[in-house]
Amino acid sequence: MFSFAHISDIHLGAFRDLVIRDLEKQALAETVKKCIELKVDFVLISGDLFHVSIPDLSVVNDTIRTLRLLQDAKIPIYMIYGSHDYTPNGVSIIDILDTAGIIVNVMKPRIDEEGMLILQFVEDPKTKAKLAGMSARRIGLESKYYEKLDKARLEKEKGFKIFAFHSGITEFKPPFLNDMETVPISSFPKDFDYYAGGHIHEKREHQWNGYPRIVFPGPLFTGYGKDIEETARGVKRGFYLVEFDDKVRKVEFIEIKGFDGLFREYDFMGKNSQSARKELSLRLNELEVNGKVVVIRVKGELEGGKTTDIDFAELRRNLASRGALYVHFNRFSLTSKEYEANRIAGEDPAVIEGNLFRENVGTVKVSQSNLKGDNGVASALELLRVSRQQQKTGESKGDYSGRILDSSIKTLRLQKEFDEGSEE
């Protein structure tokens, strides 16, 4: 009997806060330690090892040091690109880790003479398991890559087969991700023994005719404020341990406890800002927060005053002074009758951003088809992701600006127009 660990959405470097970054590192270190203790034969990461395609070098250095422990234990690491690993420049940190021999990039594509996308299998030397995978692509392009996929060639392959992917599946789309682009299950090759999913930040297991076991581990630690909130609520994080020989024999979720969390929700419907501020302060003073990640959700429509009358920064400092490791306030559902800005439906920042772009894309007059309608929304979201990349240690402001500009031009596919403008 053999076994492998299926991990996804680690999102190292997602937060600037040093406490959360340390917790991220600890979660990965604990996972690696557990994999070694369990004597897994290999590790499969279904995308988003890092939160950005070119992460801070200190984060990369710490990660390599941890992953080398698997190498020392002779446990290979297989991986595909996630949506955060993708870069419009063509080379991401995943390629560098592959070249350095730290990981093996499972996606081995080529295009045949008929324009079909051919995936090569990577065979694990010890277990003879055969891995193929589809890395994430630029927003709006994933379904097109699946349309070109030569599924028949993959389905004919004999042996124990694993298909790694980093996409939502239309038939299994969670309600909170209604606006997310997904790929229909019919676009996936059939008759693989295990479908190792990533991208969906929930632990999920599915079955479908011809697709016996489709698994999403969810985030190992976190990637967004919503993930921290869910973890604080008690949602378990971790990875899947898969035991197999000629077929899957057992699948078990292994919990990795990232932190002690505390979640509270307070509704201030019908109260004014001053009474809400006083009540919230009193409620928070009653909590035992020492050594915990604290997540507070506030909601309701205030009858008077502004939401900004509540000094969340001061409340955060007070909780920190009492030993809270990290404090996150979710205020997206708190509104005010007296002062109501243009609010867009949604609680998750990513959902709000998408809705904002959808409402306003028609007001921008452009000639390029890729900047109109749904394509324009996808391009805007990708541009926003690119623009959020941080300046790297040792990188000058000029180099940083140039890198962001170059990535932005490639994202919007405006290289030709930019070059022509430069020549004038």
Question: Which residue is listed with tokens 């690696």?
Answer: 32
- Quick check: helix, strand or coil at residue 322? coil
Helix (H) or strand (E) holding 423: helix 415-423
Which DSSP string do the residues of 69-84 spell out, in sequence order? HHHHTT--EEE---TT
Task: Spell out the residues 6+ positions from residue 127 whose beta carbon is closer than 8 angstroms to its own.
Answer: 2, 4, 41, 42, 160, 244
Q: How far apart are CA 266 and CA 302, in angstroms?
A: 13
Q: How far apart are CA 335 and CA 337, in angstroms?
A: 7
Task: Spell out the residues 6+ positions from residue 309 whose beta carbon is closer than 8 angstroms to its own.
Answer: 273, 274, 277
Catalytic choice (6, 11, 84, 201): 84
Which DSSP string do the residues of 247-283 spell out, in sequence order? SEEEEEEEE-----EEEEEEE-TT-BHHHHHHHHHHH
**Contact between 199 and 9 (Cβ < 8 Å):** yes
Beta-bridged to residue 302, according to DSSP, are 336
Total residues found in the chain within this entry: 424
Instruction: Mark whether 328 is an active-site residue.
Output: no
Task: Spell out the residues 6+ positions from residue 274 whose beta carbon is closer than 8 angstroms to its own.
Answer: 305, 309
Q: What's the half-sphere exposure (Cβ side, CA atoms, 13 Å) at 6?
A: 30
Beta-bridged to residue 214, according to DSSP, are 195, 206
Q: In what order do the strands lie in the sheet with 326-336?
A: 261-267, 293-302, 326-336
- Which positions are annotated as active-site residues? 84
